[in-house]
């Protein structure tokens, strides 16, 4: 028996089907499918180098993927009010876990960013990012609704709290992403021009301070500004991969860069994509990211609820910025930063955090969210 949904269907799933943005669902599905293919192509070489079973990462990723899809679906069923509640709970929970990383988390490459749960490694700040974006949007919206609630001040305090946690790890790159998203939301909330100038000045001073205080930041910036100085092994291999791949690639599984890059299945999976599938498929992937972000913003033009506008705009900015940073690093357009390519790179924390982000985005952008009421 085949079940079909009609516009008269009042069930939870039926209502969801006719209100969710199905084109965004298709684009996300294509990214998830491409991610599965790319992990299958890139990770066996990494596993062999680490003396693991060839399909170690493949099995784990294909275990994560259906779980991530279920998370997206479950969260996308929520109303904007429940999205806000989920974000508040997630923000508190993952803030506590982030504090725990500073106290008991293992040190990896000079940073404390992870917690070990058996064979699963969790990076709490990945979940803190989307949760904070929604909580900040709520505070900005409350300030707009009533001057009795100092929403802007509360948001600034929470922002300072999150930035402090990130810098203590330290994770300067993620600090910049969180700052950019928060500033974009504050700007949309009606940030006075004098504050815009002030935040720009603070941003410039903070960037200079990060360069001076964190040796790894200075090293990455120096290598980016002067590639001839050496220390750009991964970037050089990535550029060779794009040159070798050309327009149509050398073929799935036939690339060689994944045997040389330590992070070929995570931060540099776009380079593997370029070598094996070519520029044409790379442009298609870029187009999918652009489509999701631009379509999301276009739907917000019809939105009447200020909280929904700010929250969805923050999530879209975060999603797009993460993709831009990963691709930009692979193409040597910006200094190296360990950031995964959404839904394509290997990683449980990244995959589940992105599922949380996309689920909340789909829930907020559903047609019924445009009534101006939180239900």
- pLDDT exceeds 80 at position 243: yes
pLDDT of residue 177: 93
Q: Is-above-0.95 flag for pTM?
A: no
pLDDT of residue 1: 44
Q: If pLDDT is split at 50, 70 and 90, which confidence band does 7 have?
A: low
pLDDT of residue 205: 87
Q: How many residues does the chain have?
A: 375
In the chain, the percentage of residues whose pLDDT exceeds 70 is 94
Q: Cα(274)–Cα(280) distance, rounded to whole angstroms?
A: 9
Name every residue whose Cβ is closer than 8 Å to that of residue 238 and which is 6 or more positions away in sequence: 257, 261, 268, 270, 271, 274, 330, 331, 332
pLDDT, tens only, 140-174 = 999 988 878 899 999 999 999 999 999 999 888 89
pLDDT, tens only, 252-280 = 888 888 888 888 888 899 999 999 999 99
- pLDDT exceeds 90 at position 13: no
CB atoms within 10 A of CB 280: 12
| Secondary structure of the chain as H, E, C letters | CCCCCCCCCCCHHHHHHHHCCHHHHHHHHHHHHHHHHHHHHHHHHHHHHCCCCCCHHHHHHHHHHHHHHHHHHHHHCCCHHHHHHHHHHHHHHHHHHHHHHHHHCCCECCECCCEEECCEEECHHHHHHHHHHHHHHHHHHHHHHCCCCCHHHHHHHHHHHHHHHHHHCCCHHHHHHHHHHHHHHHHHCCCCHHHHHHHHHHHHHHHHHHHHHCHHHHHHHHHHHCHHHCCCHHHHHHHHHHHHHCCCCCCCCCCCHHHCCCCCCCCCHHHHHHHHHHHHHHHHHHHHHHHHHHHHHHHHCCCCCHHHHHHHHHHHHHHHHHHHHHHHHHCCCCCCCCCCCCCCCCCHHHHHHHHHHHHHHHHHCCHHHHHCCCC
pLDDT of residue 368: 65
Residue predicted with more confidence, 236 or 288: 288
């Amino acid at each position: 028996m085949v079940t079909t949904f009609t516009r008269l269907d009042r069930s939870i799933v039926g209502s969801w089907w006719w209100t969710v943005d199905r084109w965004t669902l298709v684009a996300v599905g294509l990214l998830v499918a491409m991610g599965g293919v790319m992990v299958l192509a890139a990770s066996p070489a990494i596993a062999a180098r680490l003396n693991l079973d060839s399909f170690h990462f493949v099995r784990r990723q294909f275990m994560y993927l259906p779980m991530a899809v279920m998370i997206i679906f479950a969260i996308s069923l929520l109303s904007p009010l429940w999205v806000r509640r989920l974000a508040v709970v997630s923000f508190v929970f993952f803030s506590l876990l982030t504090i725990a990383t500073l106290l008991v988390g293992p040190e990896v490459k000079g940073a404390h960013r992870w917690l070990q749960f058996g064979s699963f490694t969790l990076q709490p700040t990945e979940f803190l990012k989307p949760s904070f974006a929604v909580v900040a949007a709520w505070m900005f919206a409350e300030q707009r609704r009533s001057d009795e609630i100092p929403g802007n001040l509360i948001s600034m305090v929470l922002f300072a709290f999150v930035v402090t946690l990130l810098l203590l790890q330290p994770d300067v790159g993620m600090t910049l992403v969180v700052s950019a998203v928060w500033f974009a939301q504050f700007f949309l909330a009606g940030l006075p021009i004098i504050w815009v100038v002030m935040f720009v000045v603070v941003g410039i001073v903070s960037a200079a301070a990060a360069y001076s205080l964190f040796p790894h930041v200075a090293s990455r910036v120096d290598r980016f500004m002067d590639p001839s100085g050496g220390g750009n092994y991964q970037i050089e291999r990535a550029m060779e991969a794009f040159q070798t791949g050309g327009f149509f690639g050398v073929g799935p599984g036939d690339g060689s860069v994944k045997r040389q890059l330590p992070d070929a299945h995570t931060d540099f999976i776009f380079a593997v994509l370029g070598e094996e599938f070519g520029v044409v498929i790379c442009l298609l992937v870029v187009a999918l990211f652009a489509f999701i972000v631009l379509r999301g913003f276009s739907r917000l033009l019809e939105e009447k609820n200020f909280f929904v506008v700010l929250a969805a705009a923050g999530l879209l900015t975060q999603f797009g910025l993460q993709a831009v940073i990963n691709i930009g690093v692979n193409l040597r357009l910006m200094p190296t930063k360990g950031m995964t390519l959404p839904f394509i790179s290997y990683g449980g924390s990244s995959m589940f955090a992105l599922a949380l982000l996309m689920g909340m985005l789909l829930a907020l952008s559903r047609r019924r969210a445009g009534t101006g009421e939180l239900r």
